[in-house]
Chains A and B, each alone.
Chain A
């Protein structure tokens, strides 16, 4: 049984339950009123409504599980950073479980803080930017399946639609717009430079990223996560496309703005970059969203290059997928804290002069592999 069938069953049962009420009302009430409730019942029992509600429920389940993992990621981020810096990290909030509750405590603290809008800010853009940023990032979470049967990848009738990876990457590319919006609307020089840097960075790293992903699509012959992972049943794409894997990781580091490439929020020169003017829960949303994108990045790397949920059958597929994503994220953190930040011209130079030619070479390797008939 896959997630779609499970959710369909639940929705069907719920609709049947509620329809008893509608039809009873249709019997009891006078003629024009009764007809209305009969129509409501008919609509609820129709195939279209059932499918939409099913997919809605699927999305909610997948996103909630993903968000719980994002909380874990924040905890890993802090704990791992702490241990790498030779201190304890979160310890007493959630004593005994490694300080896991520190995230929630910080979230509550951010919630009760006052929301301040700068006097000369563009209010509409200022308020809209965090919404776009977190909204587009949660869209990515909904597309990534945890296993063959656990994910949102079907149409309304339950048949598989191979477009998940494409949709995820499209949603990934919305974020620079909101960052630019936040930087511009805050009416601050630091945020403006941060926003511009972010836009330049994301544009220049989007291209090599998409070209490496294109090589994966080429080898798998599909845009859907399930097909791509199935194509890696024998050998992970990270092995034939090793160059592509490295490029993908570097570009991902730039896309999720971690330290060698965290120029938009370069603390030393731009205070907090494009988030300088945001406080309270708005800043909390930005912070949380950055981790969401890190999680999405780890999951994308897992699904596209590291064989997804394939692994020895001792552990369920979903757990395999998460373990790989966690490992990718941890290695990212390790790299982050070991390196200084690059300069903006150097960053663009790496993007256009090094990564783009390498991505083309990688694409040619993929074409060669495909045309030789090995995949």
Chain B
């Protein structure tokens, strides 16, 4: 029996369709179908000037909008050969890591909701608010920040921001331990996660899976370490990996990444230099190409821009991590129970905005 899980279904977290063929409760086949949320963002970019695309890049992913606008700005800076002030780079690293925590918290909330743990959903969303408030005081918005600019960031850090952030980090590190009690402390959670949705190392590499899902399969691959952009070279952190390849490993990697993000934020605040946070960017790009790759919370994101000398890009190509990761879904699903679909697909942290573009 084929069952459509989507396009409008509580499991999907966005508009996509997962068709699973079940024999009783066991899955024997699976077909992911994406494309329900195609907005033509790549084409839209061709009709807008370079700064106007920044809010559009924010809308690629509602979960981690800042990483995408930052990625776009990096690509344009590569195209225009703009040097970003050092303070701006540190502010960017600080905000990206904060965005990573916010994104992972949203994933954890959705994951808890999927597994039926209502409290987990509410508690993680509650702690997400703390960071959203910080973002609000910094950028003026809660989800779509429109914060990075070509050649810097939009605003300097507001008053007391450093103090508030350190306070929030201390508070959040305590809450991380609470989550571990709430999630790993309950045996039912472990029963649902351990040994479910195994994606072996070779399969993960062959299918092009990136990000936490790849690191949970035992591959130590993180662009922040392997191809350091911005000022990640000066940060001291560890790449979180796990060798179990199952849902629990993916959960564990993300929890560890949140912890590491806290450490990076602390270092960024400590090392932040004084100075300008923004320079005047050129209006027109030269004829040429620009490329940027970053470690998005969901995997490796990439933007490639072709400029034609005017104030609008000739072509923008976006590489979405989840679009690639979702192709690994049948590999992970077949052989497990219907109830494991939510654990496996929830563990991938789907975001359809960037997948369909």
Instruction: Please determine if A and B sit in direct contact within the complex, based on CB atoms under 8 angstroms apart.
Output: yes
Residues of A that sit less than 8 Å from B by CB: 81, 84-87, 189-190, 193, 259-260, 262-263, 266-269, 271, 337-346
How far, in whole Å, are A87 and B129 apart by their CA atoms in the complex? Answer: 14
B158-199: CB near A (< 8 Å → 1, else 0) gives 000000000000000000000000100010110110000000
B122 close to A346 (CB less than 8 A): no
Closest to A263 in B: B339
Residues of B within 8 A of A85 (CB): 118-119, 122
Residues of B within 8 A of A268 (CB): 10-11, 113-116, 342, 346
Q: Does B83 sit at the interface, judged by CB under 8 A?
A: no
Q: Does B280 sit at the interface, judged by CB under 8 A?
A: no
Name the one of A81, A189, A267, A269 contacting B341, with C-beta atoms under 8 angstroms. Answer: A269
A266 close to B116 (CB less than 8 A): yes
How far, in whole Å, are A266 and B192 apart by their CA atoms in the complex? Answer: 14
Q: What's the minimum C-beta distance from A197 to chain B, rounded to whole angstroms? A: 8
Q: What's the minimum C-beta distance from A78 to chain B, rounded to whole angstroms? A: 13
Residues of B within 8 A of A193 (CB): 3, 25, 338
B116 close to A267 (CB less than 8 A): yes
How far, in whole Å, are A343 and B122 apart by their CA atoms in the complex? Answer: 22
Residues of A within 8 A of B341 (CB): 269
B118 close to A337 (CB less than 8 A): yes
Residues of B within 8 A of A87 (CB): 122
Q: List 8 A-B contacts (CB under 8 A).
A: A260-B188, A267-B10, A268-B10, A339-B116, A340-B189, A342-B192, A343-B191, A343-B337
Residues of B within 8 A of A341 (CB): 115-117, 188, 192, 339
In chain B between 319 and 339, which residues have their CB closer than 8 angstroms to a CB of chain A?
A: 337-339
Q: Which one of B9, B119, B339 has the highest number of Cβ atoms from chain A below 10 Å of its Cβ?
A: B339
A340 close to B188 (CB less than 8 A): yes
Q: Does B112 sit at the interface, judged by CB under 8 A?
A: yes
How far, in whole Å, are A266 and B164 apart by their CA atoms in the complex? Answer: 40
Residues of B within 8 A of A269 (CB): 5, 11, 338-339, 341-342
Q: What's the minimum C-beta distance from A256 to chain B, rounded to whole angstroms? A: 15
Residues of A within 8 A of B112 (CB): 340
Tell whether A345 pairs with B337 under 8 Å between CB atoms, given A189-B3, A339-B117, A340-B115: yes
How far, in whole Å, are A218 and B118 apart by their CA atoms in the complex? Answer: 40
Tell whether A271 pairs with B115 under 8 Å between CB atoms, given A260-B188, A342-B192: no
Residues of B within 8 A of A344 (CB): 25, 337-339
A338 close to B113 (CB less than 8 A): no
Q: Given contact pairs A263-B339, A338-B186, A342-B192, enumerate 13 new A-B contacts (beta carbons under 8 Å).
A: A84-B119, A266-B339, A268-B11, A268-B116, A338-B119, A339-B188, A340-B112, A340-B115, A340-B117, A340-B189, A342-B191, A345-B337, A346-B191
How far, in whole Å, are A345 and B339 apart by their CA atoms in the complex? Answer: 10
Closest to A346 in B: B191
Q: What's the minimum C-beta distance from B8 to chain A, rounded to whole angstroms? A: 9
Q: What's the minimum C-beta distance from A1 to chain B, rounded to whole angstroms? A: 47
Q: Does B340 sit at the interface, judged by CB under 8 A?
A: yes
B186 close to A343 (CB less than 8 A): no
A271 close to B122 (CB less than 8 A): no
Residues of A within 8 A of B5 (CB): 269
How far, in whole Å, are A86 and B120 apart by their CA atoms in the complex? Answer: 12
Q: What's the minimum C-beta distance from B52 to chain A, rounded to whole angstroms? A: 39
Closest to B185 in A: A338
How far, in whole Å, are A189 and B22 apart by their CA atoms in the complex? Answer: 11
Residues of B within 8 A of A263 (CB): 339
In chain B between 113 and 164, which residues have their CB closer than 8 angstroms to a CB of chain A?
A: 113-120, 122-123, 126
How far, in whole Å, are A341 and B119 apart by their CA atoms in the complex? Answer: 12
Q: What's the minimum C-beta distance from B244 to chain A, rounded to whole angstroms? A: 18
A345 close to B116 (CB less than 8 A): no
How far, in whole Å, are A86 and B126 apart by their CA atoms in the complex? Answer: 9
How far, in whole Å, are A342 and B25 apart by their CA atoms in the complex? Answer: 14
Q: What's the minimum C-beta distance from A192 to chain B, rounded to whole angstroms? A: 9
Residues of A within 8 A of B118 (CB): 81, 85, 259, 337
Closest to B110 in A: A268
Closest to A197 in B: B25
How far, in whole Å, are A170 and B340 apart by their CA atoms in the complex? Answer: 34
Closest to A84 in B: B119
How far, in whole Å, are A207 and B346 apart by their CA atoms in the complex? Answer: 35
Q: What's the minimum C-beta distance from A83 to chain B, rounded to whole angstroms? A: 11
Residues of B within 8 A of A267 (CB): 10, 116
Residues of B within 8 A of A259 (CB): 116, 118
Residues of B within 8 A of A84 (CB): 119
Q: What's the minimum C-beta distance from A227 to chain B, rounded to whole angstroms? A: 38
B116 close to A262 (CB less than 8 A): yes
How far, in whole Å, are A339 and B115 apart by their CA atoms in the complex? Answer: 9
Q: What's the minimum C-beta distance from B304 to chain A, rounded to whole angstroms? A: 37
How far, in whole Å, are A331 and B3 apart by their CA atoms in the complex? Answer: 36
B186 close to A86 (CB less than 8 A): no
* Nearest 9 pairs of A and B residues by beta carbon: A341-B116, A340-B115, A85-B122, A268-B342, A340-B117, A268-B114, A343-B339, A340-B116, A337-B119
Q: What's the minimum C-beta distance from B22 to chain A, rounded to whole angstroms? A: 8
Tell whether A340 pairs with B186 under 8 Å between CB atoms, given A262-B116, A268-B116: yes
Q: What's the minimum C-beta distance from B235 to chain A, rounded to whole angstroms? A: 34
How far, in whole Å, are A349 and B68 apart by their CA atoms in the complex? Answer: 46
A340 close to B192 (CB less than 8 A): yes
A271 close to B339 (CB less than 8 A): no
Residues of B within 8 A of A190 (CB): 3
Closest to A270 in B: B338
How far, in whole Å, are A170 and B189 apart by their CA atoms in the complex? Answer: 34
Q: What's the minimum C-beta distance from B192 to chain A, rounded to whole angstroms? A: 6
Residues of A within 8 A of B25 (CB): 193, 344-345
How far, in whole Å, are A268 and B11 apart by their CA atoms in the complex? Answer: 5
Q: Which one of B114, B117, B119 has the highest number of Cβ atoms from chain A below 10 Å of its Cβ?
A: B119
How far, in whole Å, are A246 and B126 apart by their CA atoms in the complex? Answer: 33
Q: What's the minimum C-beta distance from B238 to chain A, rounded to whole angstroms? A: 29
Residues of B within 8 A of A81 (CB): 118
